[in-house]
């Protein structure tokens, strides 16, 4: 690997620098510079677009799942109410000799 001799100055806030340093350390990089080099080398706009599309898909799936769960709960309540009415009718029919 060739020796690095060029600089790319990037100004960030103090908070950002601290956040980047913590993230680099957590991910096992020796420095923010190593972290930045790896991030820049691996950056692919198409992958970022695909990831954003996938995130949007997951958001829609979660929303659809919540709606489906709500509809299922409503259906179960309607079934329970119907079963209760049928039990009441069945008891009335037995009481009045219809069965």
CA proximity to 10, closest of 22, 24, 20, 23: 20
Whole-number pLDDT of residue 1: 67
The model's pLDDT over 17-54, given as tens digits with 9 standing for 90+, comes to 999 999 999 999 999 999 999 999 887 878 778 888 99
Section 75-99 average pLDDT: 95
This prediction has a pTM of: 0.46
Section 50-77 average pLDDT: 95
Whole-angstrom distance, CA of residue 58 vs CA of residue 30: 34
Whole-angstrom distance, CA of residue 58 vs CA of residue 50: 12
Other CB atoms within a 10 A radius of the CB of residue 25 amount to: 13
Q: Which two tokens stand for residue 92?
A: 């009335």
Ordered by start, the domain boundaries in the chain are 59-99
């Amino acid at each position: 690997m060739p020796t690095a001799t060029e600089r790319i100055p990037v100004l960030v806030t103090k908070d950002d620098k601290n956040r980047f340093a913590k993230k680099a350390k957590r991910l096992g990089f020796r420095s923010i510079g190593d972290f930045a080099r790896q991030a820049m080398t691996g950056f692919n706009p198409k992958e970022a677009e695909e990831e954003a599309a996938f995130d949007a898909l997951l958001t829609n799936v979660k929303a659809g799942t919540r709606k489906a769960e709500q509809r299922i709960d409503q259906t179960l309540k309607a079934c329970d109410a119907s079963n209760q009415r049928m039990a009441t009718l069945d008891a009335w029919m037995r009481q009045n000799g219809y069965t």
